[in-house]
Chains A and B, each alone.
Chain A
Amino acid sequence: MKNIAIALHGGAGTIEKKSLSPEQDKAFRAALKQAVEEGHQVLARGGNALDAVELAVTLLEDSPLFNAGKGAVFTKEGKHEMDAAIMCGRTLEAGAVAGVRNIKNPIQLCRSIMEHSDHVMLSGYGAEEFALNHGLDFAPESYFFNKFRYEQWSEVRDTNIYQLDHTVHTDEKFG
């Protein structure tokens, strides 16, 4: 097999052994393994690096375990607002989105922006309009709802505290 490789992450933070149950530990590892194996298969079949990273991130977005796509955290308004980016090392082309809502897979929108627009980053409603014009999948708010994320948000929604997805630490920037 030629020199191919893939690496991925699902977030960093205050993740200690005591913070995950054996079942949660197993679920996280299974999701990571599936994403890395499927991304690697793309490369093993002769696919390109862009396709591999797009697929791996799509799979992680589709998992409710991680803070992206389906598992996205709640904003102060109780919504889901997502950011994403993709970049090609060969051409230095890039596509990015910021503050998009109801886009099922923001990373696929990034790829579309990279390949079908003269721009690098689109945000908010404009990015959503671009997604609509290019046939990207949308999802209702209910698709992004996650009980664990809701409980995380419920603890801080009446404060000015904001939190990293996998971190117990809080930062009261506007306190």
Chain B
Amino acid sequence: TVGAVALDAAGNIAAATSTGGMTNKRYNRIGDTPIIGAGTYANNATCAVSCTGHGEYFMRAVVAYDVSCLMEYKGLSLQEACEAVVNRKLVKFGGEGGLVAIAPNGDVAMPFNSEGMYRAKKAGEQQAFVAIYKDE
């Protein structure tokens, strides 16, 4: 699975996700990626989110929209909301994976609860940050 979130100069955010699913899947299995609110979500009032991982758990936990809801209704920061969903709620479900998220103020979060996640970010005039493993 691949995905991206972005904030433009006008203050608008967007999210996109794309996947080939799981190796050896059958029965036309569909994961969280194309389900708005599960694997992909964007709302200028809160954040944009793109997820990756074991889709069945992300669907049950409504991960992307849950991050947005925690910001909208509970007033959490992007980082706090992502931490709560990926490293607490999702872990209880047994769901492995992570997400990238961005808020209209420019905050970026890239949490994951697996051994690694291919990830990158670039903000303003900063150098691009690229990482794979947990300790980077």
Instruction: List A residues at the B interface (Cβ < 8 Å).
Output: 1-17, 20, 25, 28-29, 32-33, 35-37, 39-40, 43, 46-50, 52-54, 56-57, 60-61, 66-69, 71-77, 80-90, 92, 94, 96-99, 106-107, 110, 120-121, 123-124, 149, 152-153, 156-157, 159, 161-167, 169
Known: A56-B6, A75-B25, A81-B25. 12 other contacts (CB 8 A): A2-B124, A9-B1, A10-B118, A15-B118, A25-B132, A32-B120, A36-B120, A48-B12, A83-B33, A85-B35, A159-B24, A164-B23
Are the C-beta atoms of B4 and A56 separated by less than 8 Å?
yes
- Cβ 8 A contact of A83, one of B34, B47, B54, B130: B34
Are the C-beta atoms of B132 and A28 separated by less than 8 Å?
yes
Chain B residues with CB under 8 A of A20: 132
- Chain B's interface size range is 35 or more
Instruction: List B residues at the A interface (Cβ < 8 Å).
Output: 1-26, 28-31, 33-36, 39-44, 47-48, 50, 52-54, 96-102, 104-106, 108, 110, 112, 114-125, 128, 130, 132-133
Q: How many A-B residue pairs have CB under 8 A?
A: 332
Cα distance, A167 to B112, chains bound together (Å):
14
A-B contact pairs, 24 of them (CB 8 A): A5-B122, A7-B102, A7-B110, A8-B50, A9-B3, A9-B4, A16-B115, A35-B120, A36-B130, A46-B8, A48-B10, A50-B12, A50-B14, A53-B15, A57-B16, A72-B20, A73-B22, A84-B19, A87-B41, A87-B42, A88-B12, A96-B36, A121-B35, A123-B30
